Amino acid sequence: MIPHRFWDGKSVIVTGGSSGIGRAVAIAVAASGGRVGIVSRHAERQRDTVEAIRAAGGTAAGEIADVAEMDDMARAVSAFERSLGSCDVAIACAGIHRISWPLDPVTATEVIDVNVKGCVHLAAAVLPAMLHRRRGHLCGIASIAGVVGLPGNAVYCASKAAIIAFLEGVRLDAGDSGIQVTTVFPGVVDTPMVTQAERDAGGLVSATEAARIILRSIERGRAEAWFPTRTAIAARAARSLPPLVRDWFLRRQPRLDEADGG
């Protein structure tokens, strides 16, 4: 990747930076000159990503933390402020996917805790300093699944709908404070979160391509990034259908199943 001045020397926190989209984003940011702080729970995967970035000549640090816990997030962000400098860009990528039919309240709470609270906790940890400096960028990885309900995925879709609305609200509140907010709406991206059946069905975006689109959207200060185009158009079109027709259409969509690695 050609180094891009936008990222040069910037301090960038990526939650979920040890796998899939987050890992690809962390590697791409570091390759473009950014200093990357990775938040995730499992030490081995995190160490592997940090070492890969350093081996390629980049700057990276890792903090073991659960994004669902505000204290953990605050501690991780403080550690990165000390080691990498004030956070310029925060990217909420940590997420989990669980099937929610039949509905199990424990699993549902886990999905909401990681996918929704995780994003809110990152924002709460970085925004005060960004507002003080009148500079910063918050980005959240939502999903096209947050625009519609999908069979077997009511809770996952709800968690993504929640952060879509959350990030939109923060963008409105941030106003002319110098803070920018980007919401990312991926379709299916080839990561450990997707099943082999989804891979076999084709039409996936690679994690590297997803990272390229995410970085470009942040650089350009875009409010939203949707990809791939076909899935984005289908989801937006489905949203505008009358409910009975929409239900008929959505029931016929291939079910997003739970992957072993997600």
DSSP letters, 140-178, are EE--GGGTS--TT-HHHHHHHHHHHHHHHHHHHHHTTSS
Minimum distance from residue 93 beta carbon to ligand NAP (Å) = 5
CA nearest 95: which of 141, 29, 139, 51? 141
For residues 166 and 233, what is the distance between their CA atoms, to the nearest angstrom? 22
Distance of CA 174 to the CA centre of its chain: 20
Is 191 near ligand NAP (CB under 6 A)?
Answer: yes
Q: Which amino acid, one-letter code, is at 232?
A: A
List 156, 166, 185, 226, catalytic entry = 156
156 is catalytic: yes
Which value, to the nearest 10 degrees, does the dihedral of the CA atoms of residues 167, 173, 178, 183 take? 10
Is 215 near ligand NAP (CB under 6 A)?
Answer: no
Residues between 155 and 184 with contacts to ligand NAP, criterion CB under 6 A: none
Residue from 68, 120, 123, 139 that binds ligand NAP (CB under 6 A)? 68
Residue from 16, 37, 62, 136 that binds ligand NAP (CB under 6 A)? 16
Residue 62 is given by DSSP the state: E
Is 47 near ligand NAP (CB under 6 A)?
Answer: no
Which residue number, 70 or 131, has a Cβ lying nearer to ligand NAP? 70
Is 216 near ligand NAP (CB under 6 A)?
Answer: no
Neighbours of 162 (CB within 10 A): 18
Which residue number, 34 or 95, has a Cβ lying nearer to ligand NAP? 95
Task: Please give the residue ranges that form the binding site for ligand NAP (CB under 6 A).
Answer: 15-16, 18-22, 39-42, 45, 66-68, 93-97, 114, 141, 143, 186, 188-189, 191-194, 262
Catalytic residue set: 156
